[in-house]
Amino acid sequence: MQVVIHGTPVAAGPLTWGQHAIWAAIGRTAPNDHYFNLTRVLTPPERCRPLPAADALDRLATALSRHPTLRTRIVADSAAGSGAPARGADRPEASALDLRAVPTGPVVSGEPVRQQILAEVRVAVHTVEAADEPDADRAAESLAAALASTAFAYGTEPPVRVGLVLVGGAVARVVLALCHLATDGLGADILLRDVRLALLGRTGPPPGDPLAVAAEEASAPGRARSDAVIGTWTAAYRALPPSMFTTERAEPQPVRWWVGRLTSPALGLASAALAARHRTSVSSVLLAATAALVAADGGGDRAAVLTIVGNRFDPARRDLVATLSQEGLFTLDTAAEDFAGLLRPAWRESLRAYRSGSYDQAALDEALAAVSAERGTTVHPMCCFNDMRLVDLPPGAPPTAEQVRAARAGSVFAWAPPQPQVACRFCAHVTADGSALTYQVTGDTRFLPPTRLKSFVLALEDLVVSAVDGPAPPARLRSAAVAG
């Protein structure tokens, strides 16, 4: 089985700013660049079940064909005129039925590269059978992991992989793996919404025009906007410490970057309670806590964190399946006797970070390299924060202190599979499962040994939860660092 995605072809052109940022990250992370792959799983609505596989694929093709970025391939600039792919073009298009055939790592040699939108791409569909609905959930999770387990062949493979989980011959789950060069996390959620609507025989809002993004970025107003943002970054980099993580504390583990996940109903409730109390957002509460944690590692008060900015503030970009997200620069003075004293400053600083999150990545890289040369040392925070939730404050009345305390018993910390190569020394990712939050950390074990990483995360939860009841000094994070 296969899905055919079709539309109007577009001649090769430059990467957008967001794509360039991900391409640079891919270069830093390869051959472990499957780290950037995105997955989404959809349970078909009850109104369209039982859903035959043929019907599902027809409707899926309709949804995917609405978004030109899903027909993108990356070509070397020298090959752009003819549209011919660079190195790797002789590889057959990878089939999801044989994941071992999917090449790993970038397949386009040389810089700069360009993007090309084809008239049609064909995507093989991987199907698995499940016994029942609970088994379908497990099968979908496994299938999603398998589809995302290898890097995309950027020059020859469509930037989407498709799987179906069948129960009794009918489609019980639709599984997508997406290349980050084609879309970011918010775009993946928009795509999933469109697939759900297509299964119901409906159409989502107009998806927007990714070519308009590239045109605006290349315009005089776009260049001026980028120049202003770059000025903000360079001024900050001249004043910041070179890095937030500088002390080597242990020999690195054989697989160097460890991943820990704290799933905490109490953290979700406490963050919502504090956000309502201090008229801020859950995201800025978590950013404040992350900044305090980062500062505690070095024993200082000034923290710098690269936070992922979705860049969908413009209504014309709201429903666009594309890579728009980039890093914004969040800085915070964490010297406070009470964590609550950080929340309003963190809110203001987060707004500044959002305004600093759209720029010409190549020009920013050049400007920051010049700052490092001026200072005689590499300047980079080496830590990032990504709030991946779609909704910030949950509906309804703010949680009470009693509800927060009662939820503490539900916290679970677990280690996920480690990563052999990540471009930062500390990464925090936030996702939601109902009222619970999952705070996932990835740490370089040379600077953050596993015991220290776990102690930090548990202390962060304790700091935020304790702040609901009364004063909670951020200095307790330094105590956790010593204990770790």
Supply 273's token pair.
């309670």
For residues 278 and 468, is the Cβ–Cβ distance under 8 A?
no
Question: pLDDT value at position 261?
Answer: 97
For residues 308 and 386, is the Cβ–Cβ distance under 8 A?
yes
Question: pLDDT value at position 481?
Answer: 56
Neighbour count for residue 83 (Cβ, 10 Å): 14
Supply 383's token pair.
């830590």
Pairing of strands 383-387, 426-433: parallel
What end-to-end distance do the CA atoms of the chain give, in Å? 51
Instruction: Give me the residue label for tokens 């398998």.
Output: 146
Strand order of the β-sheet with 2-6 is 2-6, 120-130, 160-167, 170-178, 38-42
Specify the CATH superfamily of domain 240-483: Nonribosomal peptide synthetase, condensation domain (3.30.559.30)
Specify the CATH superfamily of domain 2-207: Chloramphenicol acetyltransferase-like domain (3.30.559.10)
User: In terms of Cα–Cα distance, which of 227, 257, 113, 123 is closest to 181?
Assistant: 113
192's enclosing H/E stretch is helix 185-199
Q: Which residues of 159-186 are buried (b: 16+ CB within 10 A; e: fewer)?
A: bbbbbbbbbeeebbbbbbbbbbbbbbbb
Instruction: Give me the residue label for tokens 């928009």.
Output: 190
- pTM comes to 0.86
Question: pLDDT value at position 96?
Answer: 30
Q: pLDDT tens-digit profile of 405-444?
A: 999 999 999 999 999 988 899 999 999 988 899 999 999 9
Helix (H, G, I), strand (E, B) or coil at 460: helix
Domain ranges of the chain: 2-207, 240-483
Confidence of residue 70 (pLDDT cuts 50, 70, 90): very high
Pure H helices in 312-408 = 343-355, 361-375, 401-407
Question: pLDDT value at position 349?
Answer: 96
Are 2-207 and 240-483 equal in CATH topology? yes
304's enclosing H/E stretch is strand 302-309
